[in-house]
Structure 1
Amino acid sequence: MKRAADRPRPAEAATADRRPPAPERDSGDMVGTRIEVEVGPPGHGGFCVARHEGRAVFVRHALPGERVVAEVTEGSAKDSFWRADAVEVLEASEDRVEPPCEYAGPGRCGGCDWQHAAYEAQLRIKGEVVAEQLRRLAKVDREVVVEEVASPFGWRTRVQFAVDPDGKLGFRKHRSHEVVPVEECAIASSGVDEVGALQRNWPRVDMVEVIAATGSTDRALVVTPKRGEQMPFVDADVKASVLRGVSRHTHISGVQRIHGRPYVREVAEGRTWRVSGSGFWQVHPAAPDVLTEAVLDFLNPKEGDVALDLYCGVGLFAAPLAEGVGESGAVMAVELDRQAVRDAAHNLGFVDDQEESSEFPWLDLVEGSVDEVLADENYVPDHADIVVLDPPRAGAGRDVCDRIAALRPRAVVYVACDPASLARDVAYFAEAGYELTDLRAFDLFPMTRHVECVALLRPAQR
């Protein structure tokens, strides 16, 4: 295992997609105004686009083709667009259903975006959003079919609960700090329910994360006290509910283990993976296997290949890549988040911080930001045959795309949870001589606006 030179660490790490909600702000003088609009196509962000007197209105809780009364939630008379909620449906789409969760709807929980749409319509909407982003940002025109993976309910294995002033767990309203208390979550897995966090009160606590590992009985609690508060007492009933896992408390300055192991064991690809605390791991139980299969199918690693695994996290793709290229090949895995690197070292056979893996001696694990590592001749190889990158929600950016293209790989596979970032980076790759040749999209976040894409880029045919 290697470590890039110590530098100021960027704010974006392996968990950069878990940002707090936008701060409250003055939304303008039109808030509360009700307007009647005809709803247009879906937009990137869990809304549909409507028009009112020439102004774009981003309407949540609506569906394409509907006529609704929308109440403005953000916007002033001077703004070029408003945000709104559909509070009355005048002409309903045939795709509209009654939301199965009592907390879904205008002014309620902001976690799910499409519970009011039949599931088949959700898949179609997400495909249209990905296609529109590719068309608008990358000038790529292609149909996108989003693949169903499993049941749209009971799938989420990692849930972050906010805490209201009375110590009750819940979720924040859309684009707000206000917490809606809940007694259950329709998309949470049964393993999350086992921990029993919703059945107790959490005074002086800011956030509670519940983790239910897939393939093992490990369960975890990560509790964040409010700023300036001491860690709350973890009593016997909480410890008993997570004896098979780990209970932890987080501080601004770091994480302290209170009870149990400091990690959970996830099972995927026939291997067991250690993931510490709130470290990044896919929240859908099927995601690791589904994504790994898609990545390997697109990359088609061969004996002797030089492979890069960028933003490697805890090593999910690095291990099968190392197996695929064999002893005559080489793999370089790069990750910025220090704890993720430690977990990856364990998962990939690095023992006692040795620089060589006991399982894959031909694999290098480098701690550092991807852009800096790719710019450092001490680390980057003079060429690469295949590359996989799985950046945070913000995407990779022009510099990283250019540096990957400069290595002239025969195949680049980009795993993306944000279609806008993907489309932007596809455009950067196009400028560097690579074209999008294939794409698969998976519904790994049912009922929400999120969709996971796996894109294949190859050298453009001139």
Structure 2
Amino acid sequence: MANSRRRPARGTRPAGARRPAPARPAEPGPVLELDVERIAHGGVAVARHEGRVVFVADAIPGERVRAQVTDAGHDRFWRAETVEVLDASPDRREHVWAEASVDRAPEDRAGGAEFGHIVLRRQRELKADVLRDALARMGGIEREVDVRGVDPALAPGVDPESGTGWRTRVRLHVGAEGAVGPYAARSHRIVPVASLPLAVAEIESIAPLGADRGTADADVGATAIDLVAPSTGAAELVIRTAGDRRPEHPPTIVERVGERSFTLDRGGFWQVHRGAAATLTRAVQAAVDPGRFDPDAENQDLYGGVGLLAAAVGDRFGPSTRITTVEADARATEHAGANLADWIGARAVTDRVDRYLDRLAGAADASTRGLRGATVVLDPPRAGAGRAVVERLTELRPAQVVYVACDPVALARDVATFRATGYEIEALDAFDLFPNTHHVEAVARFAAIV
């Protein structure tokens, strides 16, 4: 999945890295009683106070809560944290991560599990609501969508009822005094925790959650600890220090998806959920319309990383399939070339997608096909492909585009651009690859309007 706020290039994204969050205000605001109306993008709920929108964390639509205002610096909206649930939703449960529970003071709640207080079925309904709303408001289409869980057969060890035990990458932070832990929700304050329930068992078993380990690491300048549990081999703990640079030949790991293996840098991008890579492989294979697929066309895998989705296409349509995977990170591209060596027609290109498409457009003329007849798999960063990339891509007139999206709003913006350039969405599936968080993955197919 990986150009405004750009998700780091595949192969360079720190394991478990999260987007920067604003610091909490120095002085707390008033405590309000709020009736929660609906869910908003980003994992917060929406309420109103005296005509002003209040975005409130740790609440569920239909509840009445007491909430502490934490940011009143905007004319049109405030932000708040639930401190007491007065009228609970029937979908509220004991939080899967005790250290993130509403029972804790807001500043001490661990971040990264903002839906952990909601039963899994309702989480998926809320994610579908956000996706549906974004498509309607920004994409201009009304479409029903269901968010499906990962097939348990693809994710051994993951609890399908609680949505725990799935994270194969976790980043813990190390404070100046040696404290080790995640950041508190919506802040850069480190909070100590005794557990990591979203993580796979292999990570929990090696996570240095005690203060003694933190002090030792602080003595050698540690700033973070990355925990990585590949599907083959042992879980690893990597201490990060200020000014770390990627070595010329970084350590590699091997991930297994079905019968196929993928080599990548240990710190490189890979899907975080234990069953996500296999889920997306199946989803992309199902999304490609075989009636439009031409194995001899200039098929493309854009933002291709180490070749996961190019391999999905090749495995469905055969080893003679022509496909080019394009990725900005040279190390990831190097791995992609090796990972796709089974295909006679596969190649891996190191390039920015926008520049690559510009060159394709410049080379296309009346004597060439461009991308006509081609299938394009597009797996952009969280910010989406963006108008420039979508417009250039559709100018090249591929037969179909299969778009893998990790942000519903970014997807919806790109849907609008596809539609404005003559492509309509034909199919859409959504998957809960991030249980107990607000994130959702979608796979859409676009084709030219005839």
Band the TM-score falls in, shorter-chain normalisation: 0.7 to 0.9
The 1:344/1:128 distance shift into structure 2, 3 A limit, reads same
Aligned to 2:446: 457
1:33-48, aligned counterparts within 5 Å?
33-48=30-45
Q: Per-residue CA shift, 1:195-248, capped at 9, x if unaligned?
A: 34335332121111111011x123223321135xxxxxxxxxxxxxxxxxxxxx
Is the 1:439–1:456 Cα contact (8 Å) retained in structure 2?
A: yes
Q: TM-score scaled by structure 2?
A: 0.86
Q: Per-residue CA shift, 1:9-49, capped at 9, x if unaligned?
A: x8842256945423537x487x3311111101100001111
Aligned to 1:320: 312
Where structure 2 has 5 or more consecutive residues not aligned to the other structure, the ranges are 1-5, 153-159
Where 1:103 maps in the other structure, the secondary structure is helix
Where 1:179 maps in the other structure, the secondary structure is coil
Aligned to 2:97: 101
Instruction: Report the Cα distance in structure 2 between the residues aligned to 1:16 and 1:456, rounded to whole angstroms.
Output: 27
Q: What amino acid sits opposite 2:83 in the alignment? A: V
Q: Does 1:217 align with 2:233?
A: yes
The 1:256/1:342 distance shift into structure 2, 3 A limit, reads closer
Instruction: Report the Cα distance in structure 1 between the residues aligned to 2:178 and 2:337, rounded to whole angstroms.
Output: 38
Q: Does 1:344 align with 2:341?
A: no
Is the 1:336–1:367 Cα contact (8 Å) retained in structure 2?
A: yes
Q: Per-residue CA shift, 1:333-363, capped at 9, x if unaligned?
A: 10001221122122122xxxxxxxxx32312
Using the TM superposition, give the Cα deviation of residue 398 of structure 1 relative to its aligned residue in structure 2, in angstroms: 0.8
Where 2:359 maps in the other structure, the secondary structure is coil
Is the 2:300–2:324 Cα contact (8 Å) retained in structure 1?
A: yes
Instruction: Report the Cα distance in structure 2 between the residues aligned to 1:435 and 1:180, rounded to whole angstroms.
Output: 46
* Aligned Cα root-mean-square deviation (Å): 2.2
Instruction: Report the Cα distance in structure 2 between the residues aligned to 1:166 and 1:405, rounded to whole angstroms.
Output: 53
Aligned to 2:268: 279
Aligned to 1:370: 353
Aligned to 1:244: none
Is the 1:39–1:65 Cα contact (8 Å) retained in structure 2?
A: yes
Q: What amino acid sits opposite 2:113 in the alignment? A: C
The 1:28/1:219 distance shift into structure 2, 3 A limit, reads closer
Q: TM-score scaled by structure 1?
A: 0.84
Where 2:388 maps in the other structure, the secondary structure is helix
Is the 1:219–1:264 Cα contact (8 Å) retained in structure 2?
A: no
Is the 1:305–1:325 Cα contact (8 Å) retained in structure 2?
A: no
Is the 1:123–1:146 Cα contact (8 Å) retained in structure 2?
A: yes
Instruction: Report the Cα distance in structure 1 between the residues aligned to 2:246 and 2:399, rounded to whole angstroms.
Output: 41
Q: What amino acid sits opposite 1:195 in the alignment? A: I
Aligned to 2:222: 205
Aligned to 1:128: 129
Is the 2:431–2:441 Cα contact (8 Å) retained in structure 1?
A: yes
Q: What amino acid sits opposite 1:60 in the alignment? A: A
Q: Does 1:361 align with 2:336?
A: no
Q: Does 1:390 align with 2:401?
A: no
Aligned to 1:180: 191
Aligned to 2:156: none
Aligned to 1:85: 81
Using the TM superposition, give the Cα deviation of residue 256 of structure 1 relative to its aligned residue in structure 2, in angstroms: 7.4
Q: Per-residue CA shift, 1:418-445, capped at 9, x if unaligned?
A: 1111110011101111111111110110
Structure with the bigger percentage of helix: 2
Is the 1:16–1:393 Cα contact (8 Å) retained in structure 2?
A: no
The 1:11/1:112 distance shift into structure 2, 3 A limit, reads closer
Identity of aligned residues (%): 41
Where 1:68 maps in the other structure, the secondary structure is strand
Aligned to 1:268: 257
Is the 1:37–1:70 Cα contact (8 Å) retained in structure 2?
A: yes
Larger relative CO (CA 8 A, sep 6+): 1 or 2?
Answer: 2
Instruction: Report the Cα distance in structure 1 between the residues aligned to 2:196 and 2:381, rounded to whole angstroms.
Output: 25
Is the 2:13–2:268 Cα contact (8 Å) retained in structure 1?
A: no
Where 1:198 maps in the other structure, the secondary structure is coil
Where 1:182 maps in the other structure, the secondary structure is coil
Q: Does 1:414 align with 2:400?
A: no
Is the 2:111–2:184 Cα contact (8 Å) retained in structure 1?
A: yes
Q: Per-residue CA shift, 1:367-393, capped at 9, x if unaligned?
A: 010000010138886124211111111
The 1:187/1:328 distance shift into structure 2, 3 A limit, reads closer
Structure with the bigger percentage of strand: 1
Q: What amino acid sits opposite 1:367 in the alignment? A: T
Aligned to 2:155: none
Where 2:182 maps in the other structure, the secondary structure is strand
Using the TM superposition, give the Cα deviation of residue 187 of structure 1 relative to its aligned residue in structure 2, in angstroms: 0.4
Instruction: Report the Cα distance in structure 1 between the residues aligned to 2:227 and 2:320, rounded to whole angstroms.
Output: 42
Where structure 1 has 5 or more consecutive residues not aligned to the other structure, the ranges are 1-9, 228-250, 350-358
Q: What amino acid sits opposite 1:24 in the alignment? A: A
Where 1:399 maps in the other structure, the secondary structure is helix
Q: Per-residue CA shift, 1:241-291, capped at 9, x if unaligned?
A: xxxxxxxxxx1x32477xxx8111110031111120210000111111111
